[in-house]
C-alpha cells in the first residue's frame, strides 16, 4: 500500500492506475463518496457517474486528510504501543510483539496471548481515530499484567481517559459494519 506524507494530484492518479486505490462504483450511491482501507489498498466508493479526473483536487485533499491521521503501518502500531506503555504504565507493560491481523471475528478488536506477550490487533481498526486505537492498545497492554477481565483489570485498562467513549464508538462502528454487510 502506498503510504504518503503528502499526496499530489498526480500521486492519486498513479495510485489508481497501479491499483493501490481501487475505485468501486455503485448504482445505489447517488451523491457521496467514501474512502476505506483494506489490506494493501484504499477503496474509493463512488456513484456510477462520478469522474475521478474532474474531482481530482477534492480527492487529493481527502487523501491528504487521511494521511494526516493514518496509523496503519506496522511501525506505527509498535510505536503507539510503546507510547501507551510509557504514558499509562510507566513503560512496564511491553508486548513481545504487536501486529495487525485479518482473522479477528466481528466482535473481537484485538487479543493478547499472556503467556507469550503477543498482541494482535484487527485490521478493521486501521480506519478508526487514533484515540480509539489507543484505548484498544491500553486494554491489551493491561492483559499483559492481568489476564481475565476482573475489577483490577478494568482499573488498569481504564487508565486511558477515553475508554468509555471508545467502547461506545466501537459498538457503533461494529453496528455499521454489520449493517453494510446486511
Q: What b-and-e string marks burial along 21-38, b requiring 16 or more CB atoms within 10 Å of the CB?
A: beeeeeeeeeeebebebe
Q: Are residues 65 and 83 in the same domain?
A: no
**SS3 of residue 1 by DSSP:** coil
- List the domain range (segments joined by +) for residue 95: 74-181
Q: Could you give the CA distance from residue 103 to residue 72 in angstroms, rounded to a whole number?
A: 16
Summarised one tens digit per residue, pLDDT across range 2-42 is 555 688 999 999 999 998 899 999 999 988 898 877 666 78
> Is residue 3 assigned to a domain?
no
Our count of domains for the chain comes to 2
The percentage of residues in the chain with a pLDDT greater than 90, rounded to a whole number, is 62
> Is residue 2 assigned to a domain?
no
Q: Could you give the CA distance from residue 177 to residue 108 in angstroms, rounded to a whole number?
A: 13
> Is residue 4 assigned to a domain?
no
Summarised one tens digit per residue, pLDDT across range 60-98 is 988 888 776 667 677 889 999 999 999 999 999 999 999
Among the candidates 24, 54, 69, a domain finishes at 69
Bridge pairing between strands 34-38 and 41-47: antiparallel
pLDDT at 1 over 50: no
pTM of the model: 0.66
Q: Specify the CATH number for the domain of residue 93.
A: 3.30.2010.10
Amino acid at each position: 500500500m502506498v503510504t504518503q506524507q503528502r499526496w499530489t494530484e498526480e500521486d492519486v492518479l498513479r495510485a489508481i492506475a497501479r491499483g493501490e486505490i481501487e475505485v468501486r462504483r455503485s448504482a445505489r450511491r447517488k451523491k457521496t463518496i467514501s474512502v476505506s482501507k483494506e489490506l494493501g489498498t484504499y477503496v474509493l466508493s463512488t456513484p456510477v457517474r462520478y469522474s475521478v479526473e474532474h474531482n481530482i483536487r477534492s480527492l487529493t485533499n481527502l487523501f491528504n486528510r487521511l494521511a494526516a491521521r493514518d496509523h496503519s503501518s506496522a511501525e506505527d502500531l509498535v510505536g503507539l504501543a510503546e507510547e501507551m506503555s510509557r504514558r499509562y504504565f510507566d513503560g512496564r507493560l511491553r508486548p513481545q510483539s504487536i501486529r495487525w491481523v485479518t482473522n479477528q471475528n466481528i466482535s473481537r478488536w484485538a487479543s493478547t496471548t499472556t503467556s507469550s506477550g503477543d498482541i494482535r490487533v484487527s485490521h478493521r481498526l486501521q480506519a478508526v481515530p487514533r484515540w480509539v486505537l489507543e484505548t484498544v492498545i491500553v486494554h491489551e497492554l493491561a492483559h499483559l499484567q492481568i489476564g481475565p477481565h476482573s475489577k483490577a483489570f478494568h482499573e488498569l485498562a481504564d487508565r486511558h481517559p477515553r475508554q468509555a467513549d471508545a467502547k461506545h464508538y466501537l459498538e457503533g462502528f461494529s453496528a455499521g459494519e454489520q449493517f453494510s454487510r446486511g
